[in-house]
Amino acid sequence: MGDAQRRRTWLALAGPYALFLLFLLVVPFANVAIYSVHPYSPTKVFLPELTFANYLKIFDLYYLRLFGRTLRLGLITMAVCVVLGYPLAYFLARSRPRVQALCLFLLIMPLMVSAVIRVFGWIVILGRKGLVNQALAVFGLDPVRLLYNETAVVIGLVNVFIPFMVLPIMASIERIPPSLEEAAQNLGANWAQMFWRTILPLSVPGLLSGCLLVYSLSISAFVTPALMGNARERMAGQQVYDEVLVSFNWPSASSLALTLIALTGVLMFCALLATRRASRREAAP
Amino acid sequence: MSGRVELEVRDLTKRYSPLVSVGPISFDVHEGEFFSLLGPSGCGKTTTLRCIAGFEALSGGSIRVGGERLDDKPPHRRDVGLVFQNYALFPHLTVFDNVAFGLRLRRVSKAEIADRVDRVLQLVDLAGMTTRFPAQLSGGQQQRVAIARSLVLEPRILMFDEPLSNLDFKLRLQMREELRNLQRRLGKTSIYVTHDQTEALALSDRIAVLSHGRIEQIGTPDEIYERPASVFVAEFIGSSNMLPVRIVERGSDVTVVVTEGGLRLLCHAAGDAALDGAADIVALVRPERVHVEAPGGAPAPRETRAAARIADVTYLGEDLHLGLELSGGDRLRAAMKNTNAARRVAAGQSIEIVIAAADLRLLRR
Amino acid sequence: MSSRWPRPLVPLVVAVYVGLLAPLVVVIAVSFGPSAAFEFPPRSLTLHWFEAFFESQALVTSFFRVSLVVGLLAAVLATLLGTGAALGLVRFRFFGREALEAFFLAPLVVPEILLGAALYLFYARLAIQASVWTLLGGHLIICTPYVIRTVTAGLVGLDPRLEEAAMSLGATRVQAFFKVTLPLLRSSLLSGAIFAFIISFSDINLALFISGPQSTSLPVHIFSQIQWQGDPTIAAASSLQIVIIGMLILVAQRIFRLRLVI
């Protein structure tokens, strides 16, 4: 195939999607960037002057608290996901193929069902007339307010994002041959010592990847905190939604959005690189 | 090597399913002995090893070391070292840390760790490699680290799971030599699992041949080769000629049998009364014990002489393999070294075969 | 594989799975119960709420006219776009290939809620009305990377000499592609399409911004109903969604190694 023809073929193949991304990803965000440096006006969409006020606003107490809360809840979610997800990852990595296939399905399935539905389920469980309170009533105890607070949000976030912690760790552990575990035991290590000195250090890439993924997903979450949290103790995603669709302060929303992207973009990108390299190696014969 | 029994395996059984099981297997390993478990894949040798190491639970039977029960201990409390087939070196640790791994678990002092690690690395000829990582080592070096790692803990028994199978041929021969010298020097009781009969013959003091989860024969390499107890052992170790025969006459030191082609063979007297009246007896002779001579020789006592024709000659450089056809239709293979005299044989020649009675053994199929 | 894992492991794993699946189980159970008060376990079983679902004009429209249609279109178009992109990435060597791959997979890195906001602002600036098409456009952005991943994995595992063999037997490059490569990519294409459909169907973050009154997707409908204290009709809608997606994933798991996609 001649060079010119090759180039044309390549353009025909990769061009459409590239164009698509350009118009529906790059341009919209460029638009957001433009909004972010113009001041807000309630009558017009924005005024033609340039300003950094929208970014400086982020250092106001309200926004600082907002980001502080968001980053804190993200960190808590990540930590809980590690504690609950790591054993699950080890189990999946070392179980028999049939068991693994079933358990993988049970792990991925909730992921693919919309977050709304999972949150809905939690509301049924934790709500005022929900399962937990019904159970308490059976024992004659007063109903507990479990929803619409930070604890509920963390429960929801952990539930939604834990597969993103489990899968990279599982992939990491699978690459550790079982003979290494047996060798450590043969040399005198009980299970805990073997785990601490052999599995854990070798699973760090997966652990890191999972942590980055869960953290960046958590700090940019919307549906879960919106439905299970409250408006006063909101997370950054809720603030963006509010400023775009409720108060129509698009410049402010834009600066907020870009700040959030800066926070998550780097994290997600690193995590993506790590998992992509791993999945490429698995796919190759 | 003393006669004291270090390891006692009694009726070891491992049931995987109603159809698949290993055992009952029983054998003893003496102190300082190099003992091999030899057999084709799936024969149960690795299972037996893993049962001794504690990675498989016994379905029945017992294992004792120095008189004490071993099989009720978890794997990390058994005093047996295991060198894995893929070495199982910890990739995130240096050579030093790999070898020191077990010592650190036992809370040995830093000074003593450094001393013992250095000494054992000298023993396996890897002094100076302490700061390297396994990925930077060759296959042979990795294997030596694996051995050092187990040796430094001074276990009562050292076990090897097909350690040479991942190495290329030349390296395998070299490591085989080194392993044997190392074991002889240290006098360490060793159990060696392999499917390679040459390896087993070269390394072992005694060999247990396994097939389908059972022991076929235990003996020295000489016993296994010269006096195989069953057709399986005869076929697995070395090559053999096997002719179906019928017993005609039983003597005190010679048994006379007749082949399907009517050839009379003088065989080593079978002391096994179970052969009497059995219908499926074979006579076994190794190809190198089938001597080829010019026709017209005189038969000696306890010797079979018969006329044969050379059907084909396979030239293998160092050896010559001959396909022989005897008068009654029986076929035999003979093997001879490529000497000047041997080079004169050619297909089509009429020759005489000479087989000593001691080289002809009778077995039930 | 002999595993001697510590005794508390299996109970812990079971507990985590129970926590993971509890909301889904509860939703399905509630959708079969008679009471409007989200009672669990349901006193008796009834299909009442499912009937209510099919009788609700709004819900049926959102399910069949919006979510299903957009999902299917997204599956087809994302597969076309993504396959082309994957071929361009794998089969050609050029300067900046890694960068282009990063760019093509960038939507996976962008938080969905922010992408939704950006698209909303963009459509608003261009005075484009929210419709099924604006929704489809947004979904194609987030769905195509999944297709690219599965097809890339499939291509990498494919021997390029197979196409060369076909050409040595007389096929043109195009023929070799359609007769040899494409059939061998079948499982990648199919699983990519399935994932594209699932991502589109269950998307909430984008749809909240860029679906309009005529093009409300099912998850958005459920979202607003939750806020306004709806009745178990939305549980019925959710159960249907769970079943559909569950079956699709089962199919995808048969034909492709799932975890390569996440």
**Domain assignment present for A36:** no
Q: How far is CA B77 from CA A184, B70, B73, B121, in A?
A: 12, 9, 6, 24
Distance, in Å, from the CA atom of C129 to the CA atom of C123, rounded to the nearest integer, reads: 7
**How far apart are the CA of A94 and the nearest CA of chain B, in angstroms?**
15
Q: Kindly state whether residue A129 falls inside one of the protein's structural domains.
A: yes
Interface test with C, best of A117, A266, A281 (most C CBs within 10 A): A117
Check residue B96 and give its pLDDT. 95
Distance CA(B242)–CA(B332), nearest Å, equals 8
User: What is the pLDDT at residue A282?
Assistant: 43
**C58 in contact with A at a CB cutoff of 8 Å?**
no
Contact call for residues A120 and C40 (beta carbons, < 8 A): no
Please give the C-alpha separations between residue A60 and each of A53, A219, A246, B140, C6, in angstroms, as whole numbers: 11, 19, 21, 65, 50
The pLDDT of residue A283? 40
Q: How far apart are CA A55 and CA C109, in angstroms?
A: 22
Q: Among all chains, which residue has been given the structure tokens 């607003």? A: C224
Please name the chains neighbouring A, where neighbouring means 3+ C-beta pairs under 8 angstroms.
Answer: B, C
B225 touches chain A (CB under 8 A): no
Q: Could C106 and A28 be called an inter-chain contact, meaning their C-beta atoms sit closer than 8 Å? A: no
DSSP B75: G
**Phi-psi category of B32—alpha, beta or left, where left has phi over 0 and alpha has psi -120 to 50?**
left
Distance CA A214, CA C91 (A): 33
CA distance C154 to C168: 23
Q: Are C249 and A108 in contact (CB under 8 A)?
A: yes
| Block residue for tokens 């990390």 | B76
Domains for chain C: give ranges and CATH numbers: 1-46 (no CATH), 57-260 (1.10.3720.10)
Domains in chain A, number: 1
Residue B276, pLDDT above cutoff 80:
no
Q: Is residue A253 part of a domain?
A: yes
Greatest CA separation found in chain C? 70
CA angle C50, C52, C55 (to 5 degrees): 115
Please check whether residue A143 touches C, CB under 8 A: no
Domains and CATH numbers, chain B: 5-235 (3.40.50.300), 240-364 (2.40.50.140)
Burial (CB count <10 Å: 0-12, 13-18, 19+), residue B356: middle
- Interatomic CA distance for residues C84 and C151, integer angstroms: 9
What angle separates helix A250-283 from helix C112-125, to the nearest 10 degrees?
130
Q: Say if B55 is an interface residue toward chain C (CB within 8 Å).
A: yes
Q: Is A37 inside any structural domain?
A: no
A227/C contact by beta carbon, under 8 A = yes
- Give the closest residue to A178 by CA, choosing from B340, B50, C195: B50
Question: Is A12 part of a structural domain of the chain?
Answer: no
Provide the CATH number for the domain around residue A230.
1.10.3720.10
Picking from C151, C176, C177, C174, the residue whose alpha carbon sits closest to that of residue C166 is: C176
Chain B nearest C-alpha distance from A194 (Å): 10
* Residues C214 and C30: beta-carbon distance below 8 Å: no
User: The tokens of B70 are what?
Assistant: 């071993």
Q: What is the pLDDT of residue C176?
A: 84
Q: Which positions in chain C touch B75 (Cβ < 8 Å)?
A: 4
Q: Which of residues 7-46 of A touch C (CB under 8 A)?
A: 10, 12-18, 20-21, 24-25, 27-29, 31-32, 35, 45
Rank B165-169, B271-275, B307-311 by mean pLDDT and report only the highest.
B307-311
The two beta strands, B206-211 and B34-38, are parallel
Residue B83: helix, strand or coil by DSSP? Answer: strand
pTM over 0.80: yes
Is residue A104 situated within a structural domain? Answer: yes
List of chain C residues whose C-beta atoms are within 8 Å of the C-beta of residue B56: 2
Task: Classify residue A2: in a domain, yes or no.
Answer: no
- Report whether B57 contacts A171 (CB < 8 A): no
Q: Which residues of chain C have pLDDT under 50?
A: 1-2
pLDDT in tens, chain A (285 residues): 577 888 888 888 999 999 999 999 999 999 998 888 888 777 666 667 777 778 888 888 888 899 999 999 999 999 999 999 999 999 999 998 888 989 999 998 888 888 889 998 898 888 877 778 878 888 888 778 888 889 999 999 999 999 999 998 998 999 899 999 999 999 999 888 999 999 999 998 889 888 988 998 999 899 999 999 888 889 999 999 998 888 888 888 898 999 888 888 777 777 777 766 655 544 433
Q: Does C209 touch chain A (CB under 8 A)?
A: yes
Taking the CA of residue C1 and the nearest CA in chain B, the distance in Å comes to: 10
Distance of residue C11 Cα from the nearest chain B Cα, in angstroms: 22
Quote the pLDDT of residue A265. 77
Q: Tell whether B60 lies on the interface with C, counting CB pairs under 8 A.
A: no
A138 conformational bin, left if phi > 0, alpha if psi -120 to 50, beta if neither: alpha
Instruction: Report d(CA B169, CA A103) in Å as an integer.
Output: 44
| Cα–Cα–Cα angle for C34, C40, C41, rounded to 5 degrees | 85
DSSP class of residue B208? E
- Using the beta-carbon criterion (under 8 Å), do C26 and A125 form an inter-chain contact? yes
Q: Which residue in the set B53, B89, B91 is minimally distant from A186, CB to CB?
A: B53
Q: Do residues B345 and B351 touch, judged by C-beta distance below 8 A?
A: yes
- Cα separation, C194 vs C223, in Å, equals 24
Mean pLDDT throughout B312-341? 89
Q: Closest Cα of chain C to A237: distance in Å?
A: 7
Please give the angle made by the CA atoms of A45, A50 and A54, to the nearest 5 degrees.
70
In a domain, A66, yes or no: yes
DSSP state of C95: T
ipTM computed for the complex = 0.84
Which range of residues forms the domain containing residue A193?
A: 59-283
Local structure of B160: helix, strand or coil: strand
Chains with at least 3 CB pairs less than 8 angstroms from chain C: A, B
